[in-house]
Amino acid sequence: MRQIRRALLSVSDKTGLVELAKTLAAKNVELIASGGTARALETAGLKVTPVEKLSGHGEAFQGRMKTISFEIASSLLFRRDDASDIEQAEKLEIQPIDLVVVNLYPFHETLKKQGGFEECIENIDIGGPTLLRAGAKNFQSVTVLCESNQYSEFVQEFENTGSTSFEFRQKCASRVYTMTAFYDMAIAGFLTQKSGEALRYGENPHQKAFVLKNPFEEGLAHAKSLQGKEMSYNNYLDADFALKTLQDVHSWQKDKALPTAVVVKHNTPCGLAIAESPLRALEKAWKGDEKSSFGGIIALNFPVTDEVATFFSEKFVEVILAPSFTDSAREKLKKNCRVMEVGLTPHSSWQVRSIEGGVLMQEQDSFDLSQMKTVTQKKFAADKEKLAGFAALAVKNLKSNAIALCRQEGPEFELLTMGSGQTNRVDCIEKLIHSRLSDKGIKDVSDVVLASDAFFPFADSIQVAANLGVKYIIQPGGSIKDNEVIAEADRLGIAMIFTGRRHFLH
């Protein structure tokens, strides 16, 4: 375990700085510091090596240049266990720095107090992130502290051994990259808004909003609207949902994908269909919920031709997503309808969702029926298993709690109706599915498949489904009362499949 012999300190927030430095000095650690940090340490009676002794230059450009130099970066980056790096460091007279204590200019605080443009720019830290990232990259040997609340844990390790554990250094490195990611995100958002690339408004007119485009991934954020008004915040949310649903269904069909149409309203698919022709797919998807389809977002896996454009001549939609549009089709579409060319290959990126004080990150939900099995006495007919798969895919893209009823005619599939966003599955069926079937005049659902996004916790959902006339159910299973649910399905003559995979969506 390498001892900490040299430390570089450069902080805006000097909370706990002197106490930390005294702990280091007590073990004969050389303190290297810049500007105000050096002055604070010297005032406390500590011996300090000025950073310019390493960099070869003092501060320049009104403080914009302090710690960035080949010598300092090399002191952090060269590998302590690599013979070639060690030899080169000796030739260059580079001595290792083992500890970096840096926090960043208060850019966030400057934004919060609504500082002027120039003040915000001057509070963009450059040297700090450079030092932190360099040290964090070499965390096998270098400890990096980017927040004062890390000092006490560091001191506990350091006072016992004069060093730190690999696990502590790795944790600190992770924290550095998290901090610099949020720091850069704030800067990117600030400059994006100032450069005129902000959206008109957010979810509501009083909210500011903008899009940050990930340069390492393709996708909707990079797609250009070929005509119509600018995309709004809500347009992007609904279009993203529509595109992901379309990509799911298109991929599920593999190499023999039929025309597929998705209709989304308020982040919920209200229409979904696979058919033998583009127009039939559109008609079936639109009729999934004709009231909600008005003003919706449409996603298609086929080119928009004159014939397809004509379908929308008497209908209002916000956005149409498709692989391509003919010039004449674009002329036929209403001028305020946004049209965007998109790809059909899904990207398995991580999902990011903000919460107060941070973000949640998770892998994209994936669809897999490899563990699908019938658990009831009554079995699914072979032609119903394909429909069961479509129904499971449809409910995967509905907001929890969710129930989907799906129907098949030959090679064609459609989302007949659905209930989503309820606090229990019984309400999904009784309050939403039942009334929507009545509105459509549908009385016989013995050939449809009912899909649930999560397990039925009690047998009451099976009873309610049976009251509708449902004979086929697909659900994840996994309840402690699965046996009771299966027994009730057997009693009522219902065939039921467990997939072993839940698809909550919040």
Q: How many CB atoms lie within 10 A of CB 311?
A: 17
- Structure tokens that stand for 355 in this block: 């919460």
Catalytic residue among 171, 266, 386, 481: 266
As a whole number of angstroms, the distance between CA 329 and CA 306 comes to 5
Q: Supply angle C-alpha 433, 498, 347, rounded to 5.
A: 80
- The secondary structure of the chain in percent helix, strand, coil, rounded to multiples of 5, reads 40, 20, 40
Does residue 379 have an active-site annotation?
no
User: Two tokens at 104?
Assistant: 């960043």
User: Which residues neighbour 282 within 8 Å (Cβ) at sequence distance 6 or greater?
Assistant: 261, 273, 298, 300, 308, 311
219 and 235 Cβ atoms separated by less than 8 Å: no
Contact between 454 and 475 under an 8 Å Cβ cutoff? The reply is yes
How far apart CA 413 and CA 281 sit, in angstroms, is 9
**Catalytic: 22?**
no
Residue 315 one-letter amino acid: K
- Helix, strand or coil, per DSSP, at residue 471: coil
Q: Is the Cα dihedral 223, 228, 229, 231 positive or negative?
A: negative
User: Quick one: how far is CA 307 from the chain centroid?
Assistant: 36
Distance CA 251, CA 171 (A): 39
Measured distance CA(475)–CA(489) in Å, rounded: 12
Say which of 137, 171, 213, 332 is annotated catalytic: 137
Of the candidates 505, 316, 282, the residue with the CA atom closest to the CA atom of residue 404: 505
Residues 468, 466: Cα–Cα separation, whole Å: 5
Closest C-alpha to 135, from 72, 209, 82:
72
Q: Which residues contact 445 (CB under 8 A, 6 or more apart)?
A: 405, 416, 437, 468, 469, 470
What are the two backbone dihedrals, phi and then psi, of residue 490, each rounded to the nearest 5 degrees?
-60, -45
Q: Give catalytic residue positions.
A: 137, 266
